[in-house]
């Protein structure tokens, strides 16, 4: 009877421990480089965006909107409006396309899972929680921008200076820095807050 009871306790505990340990190993192993084809196709889409953006900026300059004006906000707002118009049909997943999205998601989650709980808490503490932004929304003025964990940044595919990865709520967004525009979103990138 006692042995049977012990089995009931010990066996599930051992299985749970094994799963936990294997998850941790997977988590550590998860931060492996992505395959080059998937990343190359992602970067093609990034390059396409940057090219479109450059054309928007050039057309603004031709129309007399001065990027070097005394108030930098004027040009940036005009740039955001121009990009938004050019991408009026943009949808989530246009840049975080179907092949890259799960890879990035897995990479983010496994990298965070491999950290100490204290580190995870520090990262999550700085992420604005209540905001829900869609593609082509502007990042709200005055809202702090969450610091990106440098070790994670070094694992993600590099971006040109016009774009940055940022967390907002549980979503990873692709942010146009100067236009303060959400270029794409990858929902549920972050696990639930601890």
Partner 1 sequence: MSRTVCRHFLCAVTLVAGVLAGRYTQSVSAGPTAATASVRFAVIGDSGTGATEQYDVAAAMAASRGRLPFEFVIMLGDNVYGGWSRKAVADKFERPYKPLLDAGVQFYASLGNHDASEERSYGGFHMNEQRYYRFTRSNVDFFALDSNYMDGSQLAWLEQQLQASRASWKIAFFHHPLYSSGERHGSEKDLRHVLEPILIRYGVQVVFSGHDHVYERVKPQHGISYFVCGSSGELRRGNLDKRSDLTAAGFDQDRTFMLIDVADDTLQFQAISRTNQVVDAGQITGTPRVSPSASP
- Looking at the Cβ atoms of 52 and 145, the one nearer to partner 1 is 145
> Interface with partner 1 includes 33 (CB under 8 A)?
no
Q: Of these, 94, 99, 177, 187, which contacts partner 1 (CB under 8 A)?
A: 177
| Alpha carbons within 13 A on the beta-carbon side of 133 | 28
Q: Of these, 178, 185, 186, 190, which contacts partner 1 (CB under 8 A)?
A: 178
Do you know the residue count of the chain? 194
Q: Which stretch binds partner 1 (CB under 8 A): 4-12, 44-52, 88-96, 117-125?
A: 117-125
- Mapped onto helix, strand or coil, the DSSP state of residue 131 is coil
State the nearest-atom distance from the C-beta of 174 to partner 1, in Å. 13
Show the site string, 53-82: x = touches partner 1 by CB under 8 A, - = not.
--------------xx--xxx--x------
> Interface with partner 1 includes 123 (CB under 8 A)?
yes
Binders of partner 1 among residues 131 to 150 (CB under 8 A) are 141-150
Exposure string (b/e) for 154-167, b if CB count within 10 Å is 16 or more? Answer: ebbbebeebbbbbb
Residue 138 near residue 175, CB atoms below 8 Å: no
Tokens 């943009």, located at residue: 90
Q: Of these, 28, 32, 55, 61, which contacts partner 1 (CB under 8 A)?
A: 28
Angle, helices 36-62/100-113, rounded to nearest 10 degrees: 110
């Amino acid at each position: 009877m006692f042995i049977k009871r012990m089995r009931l306790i010990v066996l599930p505990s051992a299985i749970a421990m094994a799963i936990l340990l294997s998850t941790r190993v997977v988590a550590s192993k998860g931060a492996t480089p992505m395959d080059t084809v998937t990343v190359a196709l992602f970067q093609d889409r990034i390059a396409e965006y940057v090219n479109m953006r450059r054309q928007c900026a050039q057309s603004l300059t031709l129309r007399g909107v001065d990027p070097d004006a005394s108030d930098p906000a004027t040009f940036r707002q005009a740039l955001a409006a121009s990009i938004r118009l050019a991408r009026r049909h943009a949808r989530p997943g246009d840049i975080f396309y179907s092949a890259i999205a799960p890879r990035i998601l897995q990479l983010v989650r496994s990298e965070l899972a491999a950290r100490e709980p204290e580190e995870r808490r520090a990262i999550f503490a700085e992420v604005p929680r209540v905001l829900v932004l869609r593609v082509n929304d502007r990042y709200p003025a005055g809202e702090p921008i969450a610091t990106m964990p440098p070790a994670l940044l070094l694992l993600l595919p590099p971006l040109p200076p016009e774009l940055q990865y940022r967390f907002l709520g549980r979503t990873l967004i692709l942010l146009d820095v100067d236009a303060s525009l959400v270029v794409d979103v990858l929902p549920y990138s972050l696990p639930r807050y601890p």
